[in-house]
Amino acid sequence: MRLDRADSPSPQPSPRTRGEGAGFGWLRKNLFSSWFNTALTLVVVALAAVVVPPFVRWAITNATISGASRAACGPDGACWTFIRTRLPLFFFGHYPPDQRWRVYLTGILLVVFATPVMREHVRRRFAYVLALLVAFPMLAALLLVGGVGGLPYVDTNAWGGLMLNVIVSFVTVAGSLPLGILLAFGRRSTLPVVRTLCIGFIELWRGVPLLTVLFMSAVMVPLFLPQGVSIDRLLRAMAALVLFNAAYMAEVVRGGLQGVPSGQEEAAASLGLGWAHTQAFVVLPQALRIVVPGIVNTVVDLFKDTTLLTLIGLFDLLGAVEQASKDPAWLGFATEGYVFSATMFFVCCFAMSAYGRSFERRLTRGR
């Protein structure tokens, strides 16, 4: 098989195909350039002819989305009615229906706080980042939990669905990024005790599966609390996710710290800046800029990993889908449920990775 490079002109531009019509030339160049290529195209088309029509029949042509019960659904198509009637459960879990405006409001606030951080040219980005990572979570917690100022109290047990995935991911990022930065500095420290502790911490979390860490938070942590003290199950899981992901963030940030030329540090030192000032105002800003794509990757991974909350009995999107498909009135539609949850995750993760890629392009363009 011949290869062409994505970013360099193809090895032999053939003048022959260029003269012919654009559409035909494109076909010839991309699908039928050699007998091997032609064979590949034919095989792919044949496979698609076998796979695609049944799927389209199942997902679209024979599918049902209207109606209110399973009686509306035909035998040989997808039953999107199941998804449609359960949408509130999939998005909000058991959050009281008359209080859902609080979730919407939190979502709007998130957009308001996150927009300035993600824009390309912003003055005082750091202040906005601080607002997003500190002020917004406090505001959101107040709004979602309630119990003050006339807002009815909503227990975290009622939280669920995609909302839970998003909340947990946000808290995890807000906690693990600062901790990861500290760990990354600690790992590069010249002080042997600090370095050893940081390496031990990072390698311990990176060496065990997330599931054991979550399980630890669920069954082991209560053993280490003084009598009479108990911590909310969701909070414990979040803490576990923060510690776990801080180790991964630390490794990403460390890569960035190593990528900053040592001349920068030397220049800062010659200007009379101390170690802390040098790191905070010269090294770290440059390092973080380099590793934004890596951080975005970690965020995408941890967002996907929040599905593991299902396995410790929390009610995230996957848990909601599993529960809904075990409902006797709707048995047999698990496939639709899993396809739906996979699609939701795909949309969110794809958007995040696309942002990471565009940032990367911006980064290389500036060079």
Partner 1 sequence: MIRRPSRRARAAQWVLLLGVVSAAVVLANLAGGNLARRHLDFGFGFLADHANFDIPFRLIPWEVGDTYGRALLVCTLNTLLVSVMGIVTATLLGLLVGVMRLSENWLVRNIALWFIEAVRNTPQLVQIIFWYVAVLQTLPAPRQSIHLPFGMLLNIRGLYVPALVDGTVQFPALHGFNIAGGTQIVPELVAVWAGLSIYASAFIAEIVRAAILSVHRGQREAALSLGLKPGQVMRKVVLPQALRVMVPPLTSQYLNLIKSSSLGAAVAYPELFQIFAGTVLNQSGRELETIMLLMAVFLSINLAASAFMNWYNHRVALVQR
Residues found near partner 1 in the complex (CB under 8 A): 1-6, 8, 10-11, 30-31, 33, 37, 40-41, 44-45, 191-194, 197, 204, 207-212, 215-216, 219-220, 222-227, 300, 304-305, 307-308, 310-311, 318, 322, 334-335, 338-339, 341-342, 345-346, 349-350, 353
Least separation in angstroms between CB 204 and partner 1 = 7
Tell me the C-alpha to C-alpha distance, in Å, between residue 298 and each of 177, 235, 244, 249, 302: 10, 21, 11, 7, 6
Query: What is the closest distance, in whole angstroms, from the C-beta atom of residue 125 to partner 1 in the complex?
Result: 27
CB 238, CB 214: distance < 8 Å: no
Helix (H, G, I), strand (E, B) or coil at 301: helix
Nearer to partner 1, 31 or 72 (CB): 31
Question: Minimum Å distance from CB 229 to partner 1?
Answer: 10
* Residue closest to 329 by CA, chosen among 80, 89, 91, 82: 82
HSE at residue 212, side-chain half, CA atoms within 13 A, is 6
Smallest distance, partner 1 to C-beta of residue 33, A: 6
Looking at the Cβ atoms of 2 and 119, the one nearer to partner 1 is 2
Q: Cβ closer to partner 1: 154 or 337?
A: 337
- Residue closer to partner 1, measured from CB, 61 or 212: 212
**Closer by beta carbon to partner 1, 227 or else 262:** 227
Instruction: Tell me the closest approach of the beta carbon of residue 297 to partner 1, in angstroms.
Output: 10
Handedness of CA 258, 179, 132, 125 (dihedral sign): negative
Of 202, 182, 173, 171, give the one whose Cα is nearest residue 284.
182
The dihedral through the CA atoms of 80, 82, 88, 90 has a sign that is negative
CA distances from 213 to 151, 220, 221 (A): 34, 10, 10
Q: How far is the CB of 83 from partner 1 (least distance, A)?
A: 14
Nearest to partner 1 of 198, 287 (CB atom): 198
